[in-house]
Amino acid sequence: MKTLQVDLGSRSYPIYIGTGLLNKQELIQPYIKGKTTVTVSNTTVAPLYLDKVHQLIPSFSNTDILLPDGEEYKTFETLGQIYTEMLEARCDRKTTLLALGGGVVGDVAGYAAATYQRGINFIQIPTTLLSMVDSSVGGKTGVNHPLGKNMVGAFHQPQCVIIDTETLNTLDDRQLSAGIAEVIKYGYINDLDFIDWLDENMDKLLKRDPEALAYAIHRSCQHKADIVAADEKEQGQRALLNLGHTFGHAIETGMGYGNWLHGEAISAGMVMAAELSKEHGWIDQADVDSICALLKKANLPVEPPNEISATRFSDLMSIDKKVQDGVLHLVLMKSLGESIISSDFDSELLQKVLGRVA
């Protein structure tokens, strides 16, 4: 087992990464302060792993809450279901919430934990690659609004993150690839050596080689932990983690939540960010080609859907959390492996990129 620390002063917490961690009671129990727990999962993950979680917490009075499965359920309504079932179970301020599942469960259950009785403790138990390398770490929680992705939420850090890599054995190939998109993202933010490693080891990742997966998860979580420790509330550099996201969120919202997987949308979004960077002369066509080649190797899309026109794209991108005082900021590539947050891009070139791909 490997342990990383997210350094946030009194709110610091560990990320445990290893195989068979869902069999280790001693790992989770110190982070449960009261006598009661609520385990939030969904109808797909619960039949696979809920029993294991129950075995981790035999001495606690636990209530299970099972959500419908899918990005389209990351809604106020699902949040309401969690509040209602927690109130019915008489959960109080000392209840600890365990979020068992992918990023959807983690985000919505995390937001319930952030807001139930003004905030209770929670623990992330991510079960998709994407949630292991990104969403379970860093405390961003929330739900989608029909007009925009992740538009309502809160920063609420977990007590700990328990990553049992064995859970990836039941994940389907498309979801695994979607997770790899977020892994690749860290490389293009600021770690070209990691890109080289990913290029060499992509086949191993796709074949779920345990050592390769553990390495990629650990290195990704290290990047995330470092950035979150430096800028928890995204006043500056944390926005780098959104490479590809302004374009990607527009794809997810525009296509209807759940039709494009988050990681797939981020993959196509990273290529759009690269295209725009190339238009500014910061990277060249060979760089864009190498980005596309790596994403394709991971079985990820490199083009956005035809269904979204340039005008609609612009419209969707104007509802983004990186719009400040009406000005859109984008994460772009100043050079390959050196991403920057910038509002200093040419809007005509942006329109050209949107027009070309749409």
By the 8 A CB rule, do 66 and 41 touch?
A: yes
- As measured in angstroms, the least distance from the Cβ of 114 to ligand GLY is 15
Determine if 127 is a binding residue for ligand NAD (CB under 6 A): yes
Q: Which of 21, 37, 69, 322 binds ligand NAD (CB under 6 A)?
A: 69
Q: How many helices (H) and strands (E) does the chain have?
A: 13, 13
Angle at 236 between CA 266 and CA 304, to 5 degrees: 15
Binding mask 217-246 for ligand GLY (x = CB under 6 A): ---------------------x--xx----
Instruction: Classify residue 327 as exposed, middle or buried by CB count within 10 Å of its CB (0-12, 13-18, 19+).
Output: exposed
Which range touches ligand GLY (CB under 6 A), out of 83-91, 134-142, 204-212, 315-323?
134-142
- As measured in angstroms, the least distance from the Cβ of 224 to ligand NAD is 8
Q: Which of 69, 134, 232, 275 binds ligand GLY (CB under 6 A)?
A: 134
Angle at 345 between CA 343 and CA 350, to 5 degrees: 115
Binding mask 87-126 for ligand GLY (x = CB under 6 A): ----------------------------------------
Phi and psi at residue 266, to the nearest 5°: -70, -35
Residue 13 tokens, joined: 């917490």
Determine if 140 is a binding residue for ligand GLY (CB under 6 A): yes
- Tell me, yes or no, if 299 is annotated catalytic: no
- Tell me, yes or no, if 219 is annotated catalytic: no
Alpha carbon 124 to its chain centroid, in Å, reads: 12
By the 8 A CB rule, do 180 and 215 touch?
A: no
Residue 194 tokens, joined: 């990691």
Q: Which of 71, 85, 164, 279 binds ligand NAD (CB under 6 A)?
A: 71
- Sequence-separated (6 or more) residues with CB below 8 Å from residue 176: 129, 168, 205, 206, 208
Identify the active-site residue in 234, 264, 275, 279.
234
Burial readout 167-181 (b: 16 or more C-beta within 10 A, e: otherwise): bbeebeeebbbbbbb
Identify the active-site residue in 219, 238, 278, 329.
238
Identify the active-site residue in 71, 85, 182, 232.
182
Nearer to ligand NAD, 158 or 304 (CB): 158
Determine if 337 is a binding residue for ligand GLY (CB under 6 A): no
Measured from the Cβ of residue 33, the count of other Cβ atoms closer than 10 Å reads 11
- Tell me, yes or no, if 145 is annotated catalytic: no
Please report, as ranges, the residues that interact with ligand GLY according to CB under 6 A.
Answer: 134, 138, 140, 238, 241-242
Please report, as ranges, the residues that interact with ligand NAD according to CB under 6 A.
Answer: 42, 44-45, 48, 69, 71, 74, 101-105, 107, 127-128, 130-131, 134-135, 138, 140, 150, 167, 170-171, 175, 178, 262-263
Which residues are tagged catalytic?
118, 140, 182, 224, 234, 238, 242, 245, 249, 262
